């Protein structure tokens, strides 16, 4: 298992495109200035020792040095041993709707990204609770088994998209049934299912699923994403928007939030409906409810004794820095003396 001690230093890597851009402007300016000064053959005679390739080499070295220093500051750490610890918490499963209607942008940046942000912010607040992730559209599929590894949860969360499930629809009932099998601790009294969806185009079978949730002591909170006014569904190709989804008549389809359905599902299980317009309010309300719940103690295996790995990145960066200091802009004399491309004249 690995972790990053200071991931904020990854932002240093954003300097790389800026350095490349500045170097491109510098080359353009240098070429223009050289043309104004003299023609290329004459310039070669005026500065015969000047190397025109070494600035590119020094640029490559600079980019490598910046990258290695950035990664060294991030300090990757590797866990060397597992430790069993006691924790107290509740079991929480997030069911995220990944149907195409979740791409609508009536809430920014779109419904799906807002759902992922809500889950991410909730993970930031959790301590000791176990979490799992389900995605669903026309069918429901498990993404992350219930675990205390929030790092894994964030990794799976970042990869969630509307391309995960080809069949369209909103199988909320199937997602509830799948969640019922997620809760693997029979002694856990408090089981929380958080459904993040726009509730549109839902499939049948919700009543049976709610009955199953009650049997398994699962409380459902519904987070409604979207607006009553709704919005069009973007159609993308190769990552680029090419239009909006249309019906058979050629009219743009407008997808709307079905608050009534989301509220019916939540209140039918003893939970509550929350509007997803304000992520902060949703997370605050969820955490207040979680804090009220009785916590169950359980054992969890965690990696401990993390060892720093920055030295493996800092060492090469220092070596490249020293190498860069010894590389001058003039031609290397020993290479020049090789005279590889010059013709050998016969002695007269």
Structural domains of the chain, with CATH? 2-75+309-338 (no CATH), 89-300 (3.40.50.410)
Q: Does 332 score more than 90 pLDDT?
A: no
The pLDDT assigned to 347 comes to 44
Q: Does 304 score more than 60 pLDDT?
A: no
Task: Supply the DSSP string of 171-214, one letter for each residue.
Answer: -HHHHHHHHHHH---TT---EEEEEEE--TTBPS-HHHHHHHHH
Higher pLDDT, 138 or 121: 121
Q: Model confidence over 88-114: pLDDT tens digits?
A: 778 899 999 999 999 999 999 999 999
The pLDDT assigned to 287 comes to 93
Query: Is residue 255 within 8 Å of 226, Cβ to Cβ?
Result: yes
Query: What is the average pLDDT value for the chain, to the nearest integer?
Result: 82
Specify the pairing of strand 130-136 against strand 218-224: unpaired
Q: Does 40 score more than 70 pLDDT?
A: no
Per-residue pLDDT band for 335 (boundaries 50, 70, 90) equals very low
Q: Does 212 score more than 90 pLDDT?
A: no
The pLDDT assigned to 341 comes to 45
How far apart (Å, rounded) are the C-alpha atoms in residues 201 and 137? 10
Q: Provide, rounded to the nearest whole percent, the portion of the chain with pLDDT above 70.
A: 80
Give the alpha-carbon dihedral of 221, 227, 230, 236, to 10 degrees: -70
How far apart (Å, rounded) are the C-alpha atoms in residues 114 and 282? 11
HEC letters along the chain: CEEECCHHHHHHHHHHHHHHHHHHHHHHHHHHHHHHHCCHHHHHHHCCCECCCHHHHHHHHHHHHHHHHHHHHHCEEEEEEEEEEEEEECEEEEEEECCHHHHCCCCCCCHHHHHHHHHHHHHHHCCCCEEEEEEECCCEEEEEEEECCHHHHHHHHHCCCCCCCCCCCECHHHHHHHHHHHCCCCCCCCEEEEEEECCCCECCCHHHHHHHHHHCCEEEEEEECCCCCCEECEEEECCEEEEECECCCCCECEECCCHHHHHHHHHCCCCCEEECCCHHHHHHHHHHHHHHCCCEEEEEEEEEEEEECCHHHHHHHHHHHHHHHHCCCECCHHHHHHCCCCCCCCCC
How far apart (Å, rounded) are the C-alpha atoms in residues 94 and 119? 7
Structure tokens at 32: 């223009």
What 8-state DSSP symbol labels residue 252? B
């Amino acid at each position: 298992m690995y972790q990053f001690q200071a991931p904020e230093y990854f932002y240093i890597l954003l300097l790389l495109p800026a350095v490349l851009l500045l170097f491109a402007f510098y080359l353009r300016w240098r070429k223009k200035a050289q043309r104004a000064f003299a023609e290329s053959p004459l310039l070669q005679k005026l500065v015969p020792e000047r190397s025109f390739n070494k600035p590119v080499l020094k640029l490559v070295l600079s980019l490598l040095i910046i990258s290695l220093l950035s990664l060294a500051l991030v300090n990757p750490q590797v866990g060397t041993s597992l430790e069993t610890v006691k924790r107290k918490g509740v079991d929480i499963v997030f069911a995220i709707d990944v149907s195409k209607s979740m791409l609508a942008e009536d809430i920014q940046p779109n419904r799906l990204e807002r759902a992922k942000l809500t889950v991410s912010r909730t993970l930031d607040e959790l301590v000791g609770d176990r979490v799992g992730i389900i995605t669903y559209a026309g069918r429901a599929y498990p993404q992350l088994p219930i675990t205390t590894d929030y790092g894994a949860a964030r990794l799976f969360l970042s990869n969630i998209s509307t391309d995960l499930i080809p069949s369209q629809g909103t199988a909320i009932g199937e997602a509830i049934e799948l969640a019922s099998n997620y809760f693997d601790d029979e002694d856990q009294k408090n089981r929380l299912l958080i459904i993040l969806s726009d509730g549109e185009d839902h499939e049948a079978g919700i009543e049976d699923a709610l009955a199953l949730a009650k049997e398994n002591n699962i409380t459902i909170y519904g987070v409604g994403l979207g607006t009553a006014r709704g919005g069009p569904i973007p159609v993308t190709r190769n990552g680029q928007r090419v239009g909006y989804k249309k019906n058979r008549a050629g009219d743009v389809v407008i997808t709307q939030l079905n608050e009534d359905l989301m509220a019916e599902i939540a209140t039918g299980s003893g939970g509550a409906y929350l509007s997803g317009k304000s992520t902060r309010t949703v997370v605050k309300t969820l955490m207040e409810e979680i804090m009220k719940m009785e916590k169950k103690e359980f054992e969890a295996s965690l990696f401990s004794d993390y060892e720093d790995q920055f030295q493996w990145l800092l060492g090469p960066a220092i070596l490249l820095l020293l190498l860069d200091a010894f590389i001058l802009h003039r031609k290397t004399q020993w290479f020049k003396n090789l005279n590889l491309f010059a013709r050998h004249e016969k002695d007269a």
